[in-house]
Structure 1
Amino acid sequence: MRNGIRAFVRVVDAFNLRVGRFAMYLIFAMLAVLLYSSISKTFFTPSLWTLESAQFLMVAYFLLGGAYSMQLDAHVRMDLAYSNWSPRTRAVVDAITVFMLIFYLVMLLVGGISSTQYAIEYKETSYSAWSPYMAPIKIVMCLGIVMMLLQAVAAFFRDLYAARGETL
């Protein structure tokens, strides 16, 4: 069982590391779109697609990078008493909070899948003048939630083993 959990954690970490590193570069794509938008508004006819494309890239950047951020333990943490606790106490508290995060992410994924199904079935478009299809960004949203969910499960396993005084 322990080897299976170790393999799961290793695969999830490797996948989220690669996707997270890719997602880091989406900020440059977003900046390029916004730069083009500024230039086109100043010298040419303004483009309809630039602002919404930049928003979609930001959503992808944020959601695809979330699991990588969790993997690096880069999320903000309230540290009033946490730093004074023993490593085992921290692991127990982290396991409890990660379990609550898993519950939240499952509920978020259920809503995301429902919204994605609606967007695909009815060919939902944005209400902007450009009116792009919403299904691609909703699929990216669901993928980001799944990645975060898998990383949270991996963190839960790490915390369980740390609470028992073992390393995974």
Structure 2
Amino acid sequence: MMMVGVWTVAGRHLGLLLGRNLSSNRLIEIQWYLFAADFLLGGAWTLQRNGHVRVNVLQNHWGIRRQTMANLVGTLLFLLPFCLLMIASSREAVQFSWQILEQSPDPGGLPRYPLKSILPLSFLLLAFRALRR
């Protein structure tokens, strides 16, 4: 992702000096697609490593059992319902995107339907990871 970003910026500035366009909409979209995939798929990976940010003002004073119960309640009341809501609400948009083989409106743009498929997939992985905890 960083290399694509560096090439996009360097290509734009070098292109100005050379009088040629060394960047493209395709490269910019690849960078955004990689960022979106990284962000969405990183949630389950971060949950597996217990790396999500927490407000430890209260939990620092709690025992292990109470912390475990708080995590369980948070997972059951907030995380899993949110994952199910995101899966259900994105299903129709993803399905339609595949039906029309949605493309980027930009010249030389990439297909959008594979990227849109990452949204329900990422929340499905997050829900599975939450259930395994």
- After TM superposition, the structure 1 = structure 2 runs for residues 52-131 of structure 1, keeping only pairs within 5 Å, are 52-99=29-76, 100-131=78-109
Q: CA RMSD in A?
A: 1.4
Q: CA deviation at 1:130?
A: 3.3
2:29–2:109 Cα contact (<8 Å) kept: no
Q: CA deviation at 1:64?
A: 1.5
Q: Distance in 1 between matches of 2:106 and 2:120?
A: 23
Q: Distance in 1 between matches of 2:8 and 2:113?
A: 24
Unpaired segments ≥5 residues, structure 1: 1-29, 156-168
Q: CA deviation at 1:106?
A: 0.5
2:2 corresponds to which residue?
A: 31
- After TM superposition, the structure 1 = structure 2 runs for residues 146-165 of structure 1, keeping only pairs within 5 Å, are 146-155=124-133
Equivalent residue letter for 1:86 = G
Relative to the length of structure 2, the TM-score reads 0.86
Q: Distance in 2 between matches of 1:95 and 1:82?
A: 13
Q: Distance in 1 between matches of 2:131 and 2:104?
A: 34
- Look up the SS of the partner of 2:56 in the other structure: coil
Unpaired segments ≥5 residues, structure 2: 16-20
Q: Distance in 2 between matches of 1:73 and 1:91?
A: 12
Q: Distance in 1 between matches of 2:120 and 2:107?
A: 25
Equivalent residue letter for 1:95 = L
Q: Distance in 1 between matches of 2:25 and 2:116?
A: 21
Is 2:114 the counterpart of 1:143?
no
Identity %: 21
Relative to the length of structure 1, the TM-score reads 0.70
Q: CA deviation at 1:34?
A: 1.0
- For residues 39-81 of structure 1, give each alpha carbon's deviation from its aligned partner in whole angstroms, at most 9, with x where no partner exists: 2212331312122211100011111221110111111101111
Q: Distance in 2 between matches of 1:125 and 1:72?
A: 36
